[in-house]
Structure 1
């Protein structure tokens, strides 16, 4: 009796883990969230550092060209 119940439980556990293993949909909402957050960070950093980087680039060009 105990052996049969244990065998059924093992069989059910294997079926559940196999179903989870066969599911290849992935964590789409998680990846979408990571992508949106990364894009948001890039926009914020670009907005804050963009003018300073543009000035730095302009100074470098002026020094090289001797204007």
Structure 2
């Protein structure tokens, strides 16, 4: 019994739809166009929290940091 090995099918070029990422997986990007990715929102919210925290407690955080560095450097 002779087996026939077929070459893998080639995915369509980038930019065409639907995009194939493997033999059995299909990703349809039609619904995702124009949406802000989640990582962008997480990054912006994190930056906002840092700015808010620094505004409220910036001088205290700086003093705590400088005291800790002074203790470490004087112990050496």
Relative to its length, the structure with more helix (as a share) is 1
Fold match by TM threshold 0.5: no
Q: TM-score, normalised by structure 2?
A: 0.38
Which structure has the larger Rg over C-alpha atoms? 1
TM-score (norm 1): 0.40
- Bigger proportion of residues as strand: 2
